[in-house]
Structure 1
Amino acid sequence: MFANYWQSTLNRYFSRVFLLWIGSVTVIVTFVMGLIDMAEFSRRTVTATRVGFAEIIQMVCLKIPNHIQMLMPFVVLIAAIICLSRLNRSQEVIVARGFGVSVWQIASGLSLVILGLSLFTLAVINPMASLMSYKQEQMEQRIFAGRDIAVTVFEDGVWIRENTVDRSSIINAQRIVPTHKLFENVSFQNFSKDYDFIDRIDAKSAIIKDKIWYLKDVTVFPNKQERYQKEQLQLKTDLTFEKILNSNLEPKYISFWMLPDYIDVLEKSGLSSLPYRMYWHAFFGRIGFMMSLMFLAAAFTMRPPRQGYATVLTILAIASGLILHFFSDIVYALGLARRLPLLVAVWAPAITVMLLSSTLILHLEEA
């Protein structure tokens, strides 16, 4: 029954209309977000005389793909409400239901459009968004004073770049033990402010306390001198253990396809991979959430026009979608805080919305 409807001319027609509204709402929402970003960047660059309008436009454009993928649930909800409301008012839905097409079939057919858009987002928009967001972040750091620390994770451990008053250091730790705030097998490459090599320091372990590196079992390789060993060594730093953990790449800078390998590297290095695992699973949860929003929109907008209250129901549909979207953000935050299991935090919003939508549609079908 569903397969026959999905292949029907009617479903293709409804899907084209739905796609048209998704495109229209996406353009409008993206334009509004671009104006907001432009106003924000303009405000922040008032005192930066070297920043031109072209750079502001570039930063705004670099954020667009990320806006599209993050606002896709909101776009789908608004587009579904507008599309189904217009089809219902023009009697096209009424005629389709008169020929035996159920609300379930119409909503499921449009859900296939959402599935296709989601796959396109993962294949095309997400890699673009991760790359462009990272470039935008680099521009923002350069324009707005930047950071003195950069953390990168590779197969051979965690790499940290630190700039202090009297030196620049490239630090490599093969493993981090968060429970003890301990760095294992640490190597420091120290340079002067003129980028002249000073020395290399290897240590079996290191900790940071009161803005001082405490190194144990140390071997020092001075420039043009013989190496020597020390049991302990202290180096001043502006870092803290928490700053290092929080300076790692944000999940949004890594594409969906590269996240599994990055998660493996993080776990080998001893860093927490929970935000990245949740971000990866959230892509699938977002697809389910958008499909459930499609059924929610159908439950509110596909009632016979003679029953009235069309405007009230449309407002209720938008309000319900926004409330459920905030609910999904709260549940996601609880998952990051380890208050909820990962799969529950990712899938609870989609399941909740689907159960609510199913109840409303069952009531609608009986009416």
Structure 2
Amino acid sequence: MRVPRVLAIYVGRVFLLSTLSVLGGLIAIVALFDVIELTRRAAGRPDVPFGRLVEITALKLPFMAIEILPFAVLVGGLVAFWRLTRSSELIVARAAGVSAWQFLAAPVAAGTLLGLVAITAVSPVSAMFYARAERLDSTLLRGGAGTLGLSGGGLWVKQRDDALARGGSAILHGERIAAVGPDQLTLERVSVFRLGPDDRFLERIEAERAVLEPRRWRLEGAAAVGAERMGPRNATLTLATDLTVARLQDGLAPPDTLSFWALPGFVSVLEEAGFSAQRHRLRFNALLALPLLGGTMVLVAAGFSMRPSRRGGVGLMIGAGVAAGFSLFVLTKVVGEFGVSGALPVMLAAWTPTGVGLMLAVAMLLHLEDG
């Protein structure tokens, strides 16, 4: 039958335009608040120009779009279906025998497609830009506390080194991570490069191992390396630091700075090094669930906004739809924390909000069609 197909495409076009408009508006609002927050943080730093703050926010826009997308699909769907119901277009279609499932096919496909585009195309751009924004934020507003890198089981750390020269820094490289505990980290075959305030090389230290303890690195079997030779490794040296195991793990490529395609490989690297990869696994599964969540939000919006206006209470139903979307957002954060802590399996924590929303939407639409 041609009429349901044409109607589905028409409803899908109205839904898509409404969703993209809502998404643009929500991104603008969030970006405005982010600029205000960055301006507040930069209030005591007159050397930070306002343009750099705007640049940080602009770099975060793709990440914001992915995070806001499910709520934008919900609100866009509520607006689109309410307008179509108010103009009696959907009421006439249903009176003519067209099922809600038929004319919702295109909007559901559009919501799912938006999720697919977000994780496959926008996610790599988002990760690259967000990592750049975090580096700018760290350099301009957090004083460049330190940078970290992890590859092949080895660890690179750059930190402040005020003991050697004020404003100096130290670059520490461990070839192998020997042990990781809640309060202690041990690296083997360690090199330390100490730099002055102008990044001028001052000293190099080679050590058999380095142990991260509260407020310091303990370098065992350490020796200074001269221009021609290295002295005997028989000293135990200390290097002051404000790093902790928790801060190291948080700084090793946070999940938000990795694309959907890069997350599985980095999870393997983290686990080989002995670090927990719960947050990265949760992020990967949450992105994997995004297309299904997009389609689910379309069904939730339809269930709350397709009530005929002659029955009254339309505004209350739309408000309930927004509240349901906010509840799903809160549920996502709560079960996500349980997933990170290990209290829930990561897959269950990532997919629960989508499953709950899908069951709610299907129940409401079945009641709307047959009840």
- TM-score under structure 1 normalisation? 0.91
- 1:172 alignment counterpart: 173
**Is 1:152 matched up with 2:149?**
yes
Partner of 2:116: 119
CA distance in 1, matches of 2:35, 2:216: 41
- Which deviates more from structure 2 when the two are superposed, residues 127-136 or residues 65-74? 127-136
Letter in 2 for 1:178: V
Question: What is the letter of the counterpart of residue 151 of structure 2?
Answer: F
Deviation at 1:54, TM superposition (A): 2.1
**Structure 2 counterparts to residues 265-344 of structure 1, below 5 A:** 265-344=269-348
Counterpart of 2:141 in structure 1: which amino acid?
F
- TM-fit CA distance, 1:30: 1.4
Shift of the 198–5 alpha-carbon distance from structure 1 to 2, 3 Å rule, reads farther
Number of aligned residue pairs: give it: 362
Q: Which amino acid aligns with 1:107?
A: L
5 Å matches for 1:346-361? Answer: 346-361=350-365
* Residues 1:58 and 2:62 aligned together: no
**Contact 1:81/1:317 (CA < 8 Å) preserved in 2?**
yes
- Structure 2 residue aligned with 1:25: 22
Q: Which amino acid aligns with 1:44?
A: R
In structure 1, which of residues 243, 246, 255 is the aligned counterpart of residue 247 of structure 2?
A: 243
Q: Tell me the amino acid that sits aligned with residue 83 of structure 1.
A: A
**For residues 213-234 of structure 1, what are the alpha-carbon distances to aligned partners after superposition, in whole Å with 9 as ceiling and x for unaligned?**
3344x25352135434445613
Question: Which secondary structure state, in structure 2, belongs to the residue aligned with residue 71 of structure 1?
Answer: helix
- The residue correspondences of 1:55-204 to structure 2 (distance < 5 A) are 55-167=52-164, 168-173=169-174, 174-179=176-181, 181-193=184-196, 195-203=200-208
CA contact (8 A) 1:175 1:270 kept: yes
What corresponds to 2:43 in structure 1? 46
How far is 1:17 from its partner?
0.6
Distance 2:2 2:180 in 1: 55
User: Within 2, Cα distance between the matches of 1:206 and 1:113?
Assistant: 53
The aligned amino acid for 1:212 is R
Bigger CA drift: 242-251 or 179-188? 179-188
Query: Does the Cα contact within 8 Å between 1:166 and 1:192 map onto a contact in 2?
Result: no
Q: Structure 2 CA distance, aligned partners of 1:258 and 1:6?
A: 44
| Distance apart, 1:262 and its partner CA | 1.5
Q: Report the alpha carbon displacement of residue 118 of structure 1 after superposing the two structures with TM.
A: 1.5
Cα distance in 2 between the residues matched to 1:183 and 1:108: 56
Please tell me the residue identity of whatever aligns with 1:279. Answer: R
Deviation of the 1:192 alpha carbon: 4.1
For 2:86 and 2:190, the matched residues in 1 are separated by 70
Which 10-residue stretch deviates more, 351-360 or 335-344?
351-360
Q: Distance in 2 between matches of 1:258 and 1:337?
A: 23
Moved over 4 A (4+): 4-7
Q: Does 1:253 align with 2:254?
A: no
SS in 2 for 1:208: strand
Cα distance in structure 2, aligned partners of 1:9 and 1:190? 68
CA shift for structure 1 position 272: 1.5
Structure 1: 5+ residue runs without aligned partners?
A: none
TM-score (norm 2): 0.90
My pick for the range that moved more, 276-285 or 134-143, is: 134-143
Gaps of 5+ in 2: none
